[in-house]
A and B are shown apart, each in its own frame.
Chain A
Amino acid sequence: MHPYRYHRPGSLAEAEEVLAGDGDPRPLAGGMSLIPVMKHRLAAPSDLVDLAAIGGLTGITVEPATLGIRAMTRHAAVAASPSVRERIPALAALAGGIGDPLVRNRGTIGGSLANNDPAACYPSAVLALDAEIVTAGRRIPADNFFLGLFETALEPGELIVEVRFPVPAAASYRKFPNPASRFSVVGVFVARLADGAVRVAVTGAGPCVFRVKAFERALAASFAPGALADLSVAADGLTSDIHGSAAYRAHLIGVLAEDAVADCA
């Protein structure tokens, strides 16, 4: 690890001020991605802005049709939350399957989304559930948030404060975990929203989470596993790595989507 200055601001405004400063300051949420990269000396931020002491950034709020999860809420808290388990059980299950217990007790939803790892689980839920990313200054619809490999719509220094999930009619997340890291080789989140719209989001398979519109159209017409029988995802552009070829990933998307739809029945 290279040397850096450590900050622990008590307010968002203070954090944003340091993050707007010179050098290469970086916000620190759970640190489950950033700290290992720093330990490998592959990242060398000049300043770390620890968000843990900022008030009001943790917790889950329940509204009639929406769940709001504050950005610094740990995966373990989401997994264990009775509100989440009751209203969006697929989201609680997703959180409970991230990494390992150490990661789940440190990692945060805001950190995961801001990082936008191509194999992270949360982006698929946000995209499939049509959630909103709330920052200090604006609300970003999920469809506009994930831009590419580790790239989001956040401006430099802009911090997520909350993620707002519409409560769906039904949803399920199916993940094929990387046997080493427990990131997704492929993860498929299927959601039938309250208004009847169906959204299918895939993580792990490409450089960035994406929707499978062909699946969505078929499922909107008939929300049953058989609706996907004749459909497939092209392997072009999908990831090939030591855990799976692009062809295998394309195949898995279909398998997991079918399973997820079956879960919703």
Chain B
Amino acid sequence: MYFGQRLTRREDDKFLKGRGRFVDDIEPAGTAHIAFVRSPHAHARIRGIDAAPARALPGVLRVLTAADWQAAGLGALTCVHPMPFSDGRPMNEELRPALASGKVHHVGDVVAAVVAEDRYAALDGADAVAVDYEALPAVTDIARSLDEDAPVLHQRFGSNLVFEIERGDRAATAAVFDAAHHVVALTLDTHRVAGCPLEPRAYLSRFDEATEDITLWATSQTPHYLRRWLAKYALGVPEHKLRVISPDVGGGFGLKTHFAVEVSTVVWASILLGRPVKWTSTRAEALMSDAQARDHHTRARMAFDRDGRILALEVDTIAALGAYLSNFAPSIPGNSYPQTVTGLYTTPNLHLRVRGAYTNTVPIDAYRGSGRPEATFVNERLLENGARELGIDVAEIRRRNLIPAEAFPYTTPVGRAYDCGDPPALFDKLLEIAGYEGLRAEQRRLGDRGVRMGIGIACFLDKSGTGSSRNLASRGGLHGGYESAIVRIHSDGRATVFVGSHSHGQGHDTTFCQIAADRLGLPIEDIALVEGDTGSIPFGNGTWGSRSLSVGGVAIMQAADRVIDKARRLAAHMLECAEEDLLYENAVFSVRGTDRLLGFADVADAAYHGAVLPADGSMEPGLEETVFYEPPDTNDPQAMHLAVVLVEPRSGKVTVRDYFTADDCGNIVNPLIVEGQVVGGLAQGLGQALMERVVYDGGAAGQLFSGTLMDYALPRASDMPGVRMTFQETPAPSNPLGVKGGSETGTIGAPAAIGNAVVDALWDLGVRHVRQPFTPDAVWHSLEDAAG
């Protein structure tokens, strides 16, 4: 059995030796390069675009603007997960334009594209395009986006409101608050961050004039979606003439899922010019064009009884969606956030209002965690402040509120049912590895010496697997939730597995082949995995929402099982026995009670020779099976974090000294890879908590201040604490592997756990909250405010 083994990742050898093959590594002869003219304004009217000076430059082949796009009758980028108002009205939908027309709405908005013989000429051309702007006042601060006097981005809606939803019961919740023993109220903003994959986005499109086939190499987590979106929504090209290849991809975290603004223009330009056209994002472009994340302004209250039991939660959130709606954006505050905001506690009453809003900022979309970090921060910060105000230990208050194992499946006040779990047992595991009582004793000892140590906890729910297509559609989704896989046995008995997910760092080549090897009874070395090519894979909903294993993994398992079923039928025919009499082990069929054997490779050979198949034609030659697997439901991974911080009150500096995690992500195929996912997610969660922050000038200009990695602070190895992990494996009931998603918990829990720890360290000085990220400046200002 490979299932459960700590195999090192097979794909790492090539990456560590620099032998990966990424989009930018590919450059066919005759490739032209594209550069984009981007808005320097957050909000401006375009009075005119003069492309003549660019066209006159040597090497410039073509300049494209919105006028050309419209003249060509092209379509729009798309939002595949709309969110209607609670009363059923459709949301106020403004899609991201490939090329802005009339107005620009954020710094970095694309106004024109210059195609040239090389990258230098393209950049010179982009500089030469003269755009006449009339600057308009901008709003970038989400808290101000719905104010009466806020500049309105899209006038036809009359305000910046995209949608407004209410969940739970307003009146019942208000009544509970009125009668509650204790109420905690906080403003709990989660700031905007940028996903920063090591490999920037890149696209290379080649148009074959002879066949009119288009091949697009793209940094995509979802190559089939990208093909569908380009064909169906943007360019109107026939889907069978468009092949999307996503080769090795160096990280994505969600933002390589989305229908990014540049890709349509790259493909269109290659068709217009009849030659390959390429664009590779610079880091500065990435920070003003890749979809960004979070950016919530929230006022929330939690009501308790005298024993610290949660009676009700009230949440009022304005969620930024950016200047336009990117693919999945509305569903993040509209679905993920309300479904996880009560976390792992039995919260009997909830009232939640979410208003999605436009601001003059880069569009928001899904980024590792996607709605759950914002939700967890609200729930967990309120709970710990409540515990302290009630004089109850923060671990004890959780024991009183965690959902007991016997309550699963557990239905939350918003109607979502959590599948399975045992949060109290998981919590015990967390406290055990952390040595909670010992940490409290150490905190007291250090406190006596004037060292401020803080301990913070977060318990929370992930949601993964995306569920069935029908379920997604019921919540507005215009995309599927299934996955496809082919298991192809070659005539020598070795196998190639094709699957519609796409690894951009998750180790699919190892995990998926472990599953296939177990089901096929083959050594893992005899199995190859193919992902990321619409030319060879039937269809794929791609890798996002922690869905690859619980959906794609099951598709592989089922296809492999069908292959073995057929091989068994053929082996029984060849061995002249009944199928029931066959044993299959270690790639050998044997007839029970006899010494008759037949190797799997011999069966494969026979399947492809075809000559010995049943004469009655009851069996087709070949040995290959295709499965489209539709999962019946999502799954609900759970995790808990404990952070130990040291805070220097003089400077405000926060050091995360130790970190402990307890994850229940169902059955674990490869513990080494899951541990890597936990730590990787944690690095991003710690980044969000301590330093990462997209900053716009909050005034009317709306300029982007965090435009390079000299100002946008990513965590480094030296910022990471020691991490101790523990796991509990509660098998998911909704899939036969019993697996759940396990890659997003780090980003979800860290801001809450670290935030709670910082407040713990400073509580006696009067600090009740610190705004995120917990930079030295923010901590110091909190101390100043507390001191009055």
Contact = CB atoms under 8 A, between A and B. Distances in A.
Are A and B part of the same complex?
A: yes
Interface of A: 1-3, 40-41, 176, 178-181, 183, 241-245, 247-248, 251-252, 255
B780 A242 contact: no
Given A41-B123, A41-B127, A252-B651, A180 B712 contact: yes
Interface in B712-734: 712-714, 719
Contacts of A245: 777, 781
Contacts of A241: 705
Given A176-B651, A241-B705, A242-B693, A251 B780 contact: yes
Given A40-B284, A241-B705, A248-B780, 9 more contacts: A178-B713, A180-B709, A183-B710, A242-B693, A242-B695, A244-B775, A245-B777, A248-B652, A255-B651
B118 to A, nearest CB: 12
Interface in B684-722: 690-691, 693, 695, 705-706, 708-714, 719
B709 A243 contact: no
A42 B714 CA distance: 24
B19 interface: no
Q: Which of B124, B714, B780 has the most chain A CB within a 10 Å cutoff?
A: B780
A41 B781 CA distance: 37
B449 interface: no
A40 B706 CA distance: 15
Nearest to A242: B695
B776 interface: yes
Contacts of A2: 124
A124 B652 CA distance: 23
Interface string B277-293: 00000001000000000
A180 B713 contact: yes
Looking at A3, A183, A243, A245, the one whose CB has the most chain B CB atoms below 10 A away is: A243
A112 B486 CA distance: 59
Given A242-B705, A252-B651, A180 B710 contact: yes
Contacts of A180: 691, 709-714
Contacts of A178: 710-711, 713
Nearest to A100: B716
Given A40-B284, A179-B691, A244 B713 contact: no
Contact of B710 (A1, A181, A248): A181
A242 to B, nearest CB: 4
Nearest to A186: B651
B650 interface: yes
Interface of B: 120, 123-124, 127, 284, 650-653, 690-691, 693, 695, 705-706, 708-714, 719, 775-777, 780-781, 784
Contacts of B284: 40
A247 B784 CA distance: 11
Contacts of A251: 780
Contacts of A243: 711, 775, 777
B66 to A, nearest CB: 24
A100 B711 CA distance: 15
Contact of A244 (B124, B690, B719, B776): B776
Contacts of A176: 651, 653, 776
Contacts of A247: 781, 784
Contacts of B780: 248, 251
A2 B120 CA distance: 8
Contacts of A1: 120
Contact of B781 (A3, A248, A255): A248
Contact of A179 (B127, B651, B708, B713): B713
Contacts of A244: 775-777
Q: Chain A binding site: helix, strand, loop or mixed by DSSP?
A: loop
A245 B284 CA distance: 25
Nearest to A248: B777
Residue from B650, B690, B695 whose CB has the most chain A CB atoms within 10 Å: B650
Contacts of B123: 41
Nearest to A249: B777
A181 B709 CA distance: 7
A2 B119 CA distance: 11
A251 B649 CA distance: 12
A180 B714 CA distance: 6
A244 B776 CA distance: 8
12 contacts: A1-B120, A41-B127, A178-B710, A178-B711, A178-B713, A242-B693, A243-B775, A244-B777, A245-B781, A248-B776, A248-B777, A248-B780
A247 B714 CA distance: 25
A244 B779 CA distance: 11
Tell me which of B123, B693, B706, B777 has the highest count of chain A C-beta atoms within 10 A of its own C-beta. B777
A243 B775 CA distance: 8
B711 A255 contact: no
Contact of A242 (B711, B776, B781): B711
A215 B133 CA distance: 50
A123 B176 CA distance: 62
A43 to B, nearest CB: 14
Contacts of A179: 690-691, 713, 719, 775
A255 B776 CA distance: 13
Contact of B706 (A41, A242, A252, A255): A242
Nearest to A179: B713
A178 B120 CA distance: 32
Contacts of B695: 242
A180 B194 CA distance: 14
A242 B653 CA distance: 16
Contacts of B705: 241-242
A184 B601 CA distance: 65
Contacts of B706: 242
A171 to B, nearest CB: 21
A241 B705 CA distance: 9
A247 B711 CA distance: 20
A247 B785 CA distance: 13
A40 to B, nearest CB: 7
Contacts of B651: 176, 252, 255
Nearest to B715: A179
A22 B710 CA distance: 33
Q: Which 8 A-B pairs have the closest CB atoms?
A: A180-B713, A179-B713, A181-B710, A244-B777, A242-B695, A179-B691, A248-B777, A255-B650
B330 to A, nearest CB: 29
B777 to A, nearest CB: 4
A248 B713 CA distance: 19
Contacts of A248: 652, 776-777, 780-781
A168 B711 CA distance: 35
A44 B693 CA distance: 30
A264 to B, nearest CB: 18
A230 to B, nearest CB: 16
Contacts of A255: 650-651
A41 B780 CA distance: 37
B401 to A, nearest CB: 35
A255 B649 CA distance: 11
A255 to B, nearest CB: 5
Contact of A181 (B127, B711, B784): B711
A209 to B, nearest CB: 19
Contacts of B652: 248
A4 to B, nearest CB: 12
Nearest to B284: A40
B485 to A, nearest CB: 42
A176 B779 CA distance: 15
A243 B653 CA distance: 12
A244 B120 CA distance: 37
Nearest to A183: B710
Nearest to A180: B713
Contacts of A183: 710
Nearest to A252: B651
Contacts of A181: 710-711
A163 B652 CA distance: 35
B420 to A, nearest CB: 40
Contacts of A242: 693, 695, 705-706, 711
A241 B713 CA distance: 14
A79 B127 CA distance: 42
